[in-house]
Amino acid sequence: MRKKTALAVTALFAAATLSLSACGTGGAESDQPVADVSAEAQDKAATVLDRPFEKPDLVLKDTKGKEFDLRERTKGKPVLMYFGYTHCPDVCPLTMSNIADAKRRLAQKLPKDELAELQVVFVTTDPERDTPAELGKWLKAQDPSFIGLTGDFPTIQASARTLGISIDAPKKEKDGSVTSMHGKQVIAFSPKSDAGYVLYNGEEATADDYVKDLPKIIKGENP
Amino acid sequence: MTPRKAHPLPGHRPSRSFARSWTVVAIAAASALALAGCSSSDGADKEPAADAKPQLSVTGAYMPEPVTKDMGGGFLTIANKGGADKLTSVTTESAKSAGLHETVDQKMKMVKAFDIPAGGALKLERGGNHIMFHDLTELPKKGDKIAVELHFEKSAPIKAELDVKAPTYNPHSH
């Protein structure tokens, strides 16, 4: 009896949550399968992909304005990749600060050269405003080792799409403000296969999650 | 039915004798949630009435330490024991401007006002809606306080202080 009631309560809450998100956003989220509810309940930040993503064949400019070939420069190295923009007061700095904080804490646990292998790549979704200099200033304030990439928007959008991340071009509003968009996930690429094999929800994964998982990701293991 | 009475959480185990009433409460809570998700305009059958005087109180106001002076986000909760109101603007001497931003599907957009429901609360949380500060006079550091004045459609302005927290601070994360 007890168990049944508890189940009923849980089910009702799940139903309420689902109807809530269905009403609230209407977009892609309502298409998510019911299975996501149980995934959330496990309270694990990382999602290991059954079918990993190929690393995008992406050549952009780094924060010094020099050409940066993602595949060539990060071959055989663990990579964390995120799509965002610097005129973003909340989720983008939260995501990057969480990774920066985790790296600082891991510096006391991991051998220096091991941690130095980790490449954190921030690709702007707002290249018009995020020039190499702007991007450099913003990233340096969080962690000087972070790699910032900017360039042609269609190129950035196309590479994001190969990773299942959809981003719209920044849009100028009537009041002169610009609406930009950040990606939802942080993708971890394995140093063994160079494939994107783990996803994190940028705004939900905490620094603690990265502290826990990064030592494994650096070795290409499943977190 | 007011939100105050609907407290059940899935983690709490009801004792046997309460099982039935627990289920009823859960159903009520579930429908309240569904209601809150779908309709924002029907204050008619709620208590207090939508045209009652709003009674606002501000809690948990903070700003995560921004990366640069260019911008920062502010978060807080405005509880309302009275009738519906709207947060219409935020003013501060610590920044050139402060606006209201909503976040929908990873996009941020300026809005004119945020609704504060009757007998409910407006919650500005990380990953969602926020106050957007542009061109801060100084780069706020953890431990600082940012004084703001909140302006409403009906209520008199309320002065509040945002505590500057670590950049990774997120009281609502798991």
- pLDDT of res. B35: 46
Is the pLDDT at B7 greater than 70, yes or no? no
**Torsions phi, psi for A126 (to 5 deg):** -135, 65
Say how many C-beta atoms besides its own lie within 10 A of residue A86's C-beta. 27
Confidence category of residue A178, pLDDT binned at 50, 70, 90 = confident
pLDDT digit string (tens) for A92-149? Answer: 999 999 999 999 999 999 999 999 999 999 999 999 999 999 999 999 999 999 999 9
**Percentage of residues in chain A having pLDDT higher than 70:** 81
Where in chain B are the domains?
Answer: 1-38, 56-165
Residues in chain A within 8 Å Cβ distance of B72: 89
As a whole-number percent, the residues of chain A with pLDDT over 90 amount to 70
pLDDT of residue B1: 43
Quote the pLDDT of residue A73.
97
Query: A183 to chain B: which residues are within 8 Å by CB?
Result: 106
pLDDT of residue A203: 85
Residue B73: which of A19, A90, A183 has the nearest Cβ? A90
Overall average pLDDT of the B77-101 stretch: 96
Most B CBs within 10 A among A3, A9, A178, hence the mutation to make, goes to A9
Residues 76-135 of A with CB under 8 A from B: 86-91, 93-94, 96-98, 101
| For testing contact with chain B, the best of A4, A7, A12 (most B CBs within 10 A) | A12
Q: What are phi and psi of A140, to 5 degrees?
A: -60, -35
Region for residue B105 given its phi and psi (left: phi exceeds 0; alpha: psi -120 to 50; beta: otherwise): left
User: Residue A97 has what pLDDT?
Assistant: 95
A44 pLDDT tier (thresholds 50, 70, 90): confident
Q: What number is the average pLDDT over the span B125-153? A: 96
Average pLDDT over residues A177-186: 88
Name the more confident of A165 and B106: A165
Residues A83 and A28: their CA atoms lie apart, in Å, by 18
pLDDT for residue B12? 44
Give the nearest partner residue to B126 out of A27, A94, A184, using CB atoms.
Answer: A94
| Residue among A1, A86, A93 whose CB faces B167 most closely | A93
Is residue B126 over pLDDT 50? yes
- Which of the four pLDDT bands, split at 50, 70 and 90, describes residue B21? low
**More confident: B24 or A220:** A220
User: How does pLDDT run across B28-74, given as a tens digit for each residue?
Assistant: 554 444 444 444 444 444 566 657 899 999 999 999 999 999 999 99
Sign of torsion over alpha carbons B21, B23, B27, B33: positive
User: Are A20 and B26 a contacting pair at CB < 8 A?
Assistant: no
Instruction: Please tell me the distance from the alpha carbon of residue B97 to that of residue B79, in angstroms, as a whole number.
Output: 24
Calculate how close chain A gets to B155, using CA atoms only, in Å. 27
Q: With a cut of 60, say whether residue B10 has pLDDT above it.
A: no
Q: Does A143 touch chain B (CB under 8 A)?
A: no
Average the pLDDT over each of A9-18, A99-108, B118-127, B131-140 and give the range with the smallest value: A9-18
CATH top-level class of B56-165: mainly beta
SS3 B109: strand
Residue B18 has pLDDT above 80, yes or no: no
Report DSSP letters for A58-125, one per residue.
-EEE-TTS-EEEHHHHHTTS-EEEEEE-SS-SSHHHHHHHHHHHHHHHHTTTS-HHHHHT-EEEEEES
Q: Which residues is A84 bridged to in the sheet? A: A124
| Cβ atoms of A196 and A55 closer than 8 Å | yes
Question: Are B66 and A97 a contacting pair at CB < 8 A?
Answer: no
How far apart are the C-alpha atoms of A193 and A123, rounded to whole Å? 21
What local confidence, expressed as pLDDT, does residue B107 receive? Answer: 82
pTM above 0.90, yes or no: no
> Which tokens in the block code for residue A173?
């509003």
Cβ–Cβ below 8 Å for A89 and B71: yes
Residue A135 has φ and ψ, to the nearest 5°, of -65, -40
Count CB pairs under 8 A between chains A and B: 138
A8 CB burial (10 A radius; 0-12, 13-18, 19+): middle
Average pLDDT over residues B126-141: 94
ipTM: 0.72
> What residues of A are in contact with residue B29 (Cβ under 8 Å)?
12-13, 16
**Nearest-CA distance A159 → chain B (Å):** 18
